[in-house]
Amino acid sequence: MLKIHFLNVGKGNCTVIKFPSGNLAVVDIDNSRVKDKNGTLQDPLLFLDQEYPNQSIFRFVLSHPDMDHMSGLSELHRDRAITNFWDSDNNKEVDVDKLHLGGYDPDDWYKYQELRVKDENPKAIKLYQGEEAQSYWKEDGIKILGPSKLMVEKANETEEYNHCSYVLKIEYEGVKVILGGDATKESWRDILEHHGEEELSADVFLAPHHGSPDNIEKDVFKYISPQYVVVSDHRGHNYDYSYYDDLASEQVYSTKHFGNITLEVSDTVKTIFPEKNG
């Protein structure tokens, strides 16, 4: 069985994936707002302790180097063994003295800088669009739609680091899931040009950049044609989801309304379990 958990972490992203192979993956992490006033947000570290106690993380994927996608990384690395660390060759720098203004811990940025150059425990890996000839992640049905090296170069030149966001496609028993990261319109056009229309089709689509209209590329998304769209969003954001309502043939699930959302796939049967009724 494939299990994908879209966690209700608030402003950031965290997706936990248990593959049929037994491998556990975490794509992004954000625990900067676990002490929210309403007590509704999910602490990803607590979730892992409850659902997957004592299991090492085979791969941690940092979609791109924004703090709301790596908050809690230092504690995660302290508590769990991580085998592989996926990252891009970005040149982003931050003013660590100002991270507290956004509710972030400088230790997470320092830990990121440490992990992204390690040779083991974890092994830092930089993978890009078109490198599917290497096979050690293909056993888990992962295809790297983006970024291309060209988009990473553009991110470094423009300091728009959403350009270098990972976009991953996961397929099991004919069910396809696309994780959109924070990929930009330019990134999506680059993905379409490289992979073509058919490769973009998916049953479940994690909307990029928390559902922001700035990252909607309609001429690309029409080929995804998902049954379900998941939006990792938080209360206080008031994005208009009408486009995604039209895109999804079944339903849009936002974490701010439905809480944690779990997708289970077994023998071509896919089931989505929202934590709340919305």
pLDDT tens-digit readout, 202-229: 999 999 999 999 999 999 999 999 999 9
Band (72; pLDDT cuts 50, 70, 90): very high
Instruction: Say if residues 20 and 58 touch (Cβ distance below 8 Å).
Output: no
Per the model's pLDDT, the better-predicted residue between 270 and 114 turns out to be 114
pTM, 2 dp = 0.96
Determine what percent of the chain is predicted with pLDDT higher than 70.
95
pLDDT at 136 over 60: no
Domain boundaries, the chain: 2-274
Q: Which CATH superfamily is domain 2-274 in?
A: Ribonuclease Z/Hydroxyacylglutathione hydrolase-like (3.60.15.10)
